[in-house]
Amino acid sequence: MLMILAALCAGAFATTGILWFAGAGGGSAVAAARLNKRREVEANLPTADAKSGLRRRGSVNFAGITVLSGNLAANWTRDLERAGLTLNAKEYLGLRIAVSAVLAVVGMAVSPIPILAVLGLPLGFFATAFWVKRRKISRLHKMEAQMVELLQMLSSGLRAGFGLLQALEAAAEQTQAPLQTEIRRTLRDTAMGASVEQALSSLNERVGSADFDIVITAILIQRSVGGNLAEILDNVAHTMRERERIRGEIRTLTSQQRLTGYVIGAIPIGLLVVFMMISPEFTSLLFTDPLGRMLLMAAAVSEVLGFAVIQKIVNIEI
């Protein structure tokens, strides 16, 4: 009897050992298969050289020479998009060079002093960037002015039972450009398969506004944790209205200082024009004598710096 029990125990232990080893071998095989698959995926990922190659492909090259780095080209593309222009970085670079060349040619044809014509090259190059920046700021202010009305329409649509996308679509039909263009682009992104969070994040990146960032962040948080989105948008709209009211009061209070900056900046130019009309031989030394040219350039630089400082002082951000 004891011999039978011992044989049964030995058989049970042997069976358990065989099953355990088989299971361990199968688990090892599965783990090895997963490890090999992960290695294959990692091998197919772009390496650092490939990523740098992608950045190089985003740069602007001419005759094998990189004239515009990938990061700078990306920044230019973003600024052009925010300004509402359909140019790419290469076309924008060509436009700046063309404007510089035109100003230099006009300066050589009009100015009796050749060195002043050379100043048209940097003047045209940076004047184009200044124009794009002003256009970007103007477009941004237009969209921020339309934001309160958009929030009210979204809040009304949500209270009427619409979803977020339906409310956005209804609001896009009632708003004007440029905000209408951005909303329709966001709706097109969602129609192409992007999630609402991805489309709103792309909108925030394209616009680059603090007000848009507040609104989109509030919407994304509400979609994550829940809450009454209509009430949240009403509160955000009220905050923006108060900010706009305070901004208007500050502009009213600082209007005299801004006018003073304009007048002070125009006085030297006006005096130069008056002296040129009264005594041309006296003021001609500023254009013919080397010391006079240096003084004239120093005066122009001081004029620009003084005007910029005054504008920086009176421009109070809220």
DSSP state of 84: T
**Model confidence pLDDT, tens digit, residues 40-64:** 544 444 443 433 343 444 566 655 6
pLDDT per residue over 228-237, tens digit each?
Answer: 889 999 998 8
Residue 144: both structure tokens together: 């921020």
- The band of 286, judged by pLDDT with boundaries at 50, 70 and 90, is confident
* Res 136: pLDDT: 92
Letter string b/e over residues 8-17, b meaning 16 or more CB atoms within 10 A of that residue's CB: eeeeeeeeee
pLDDT (0 to 100) of residue 134 = 92
Q: How confident is the model at residue 289 (pLDDT cuts 50, 70, 90)?
A: confident
Q: Residue 187: what pLDDT?
A: 92
What's the mean pLDDT in 103-107? 82
Average pLDDT, the chain: 78
- Which 3-state string (H, E, C) describes 234-262? HHHHHHHHHHHHHHHHHHHHCHHHHHHHH
Cα angle value 276/277/278 (rounded, 5°): 95
Closest by CA position to 93, among listed 106, 80, 103, 107: 80
Residue 280 confidence class, pLDDT cut points 50, 70, 90: confident
CB 107 within 8 A of CB 116: yes
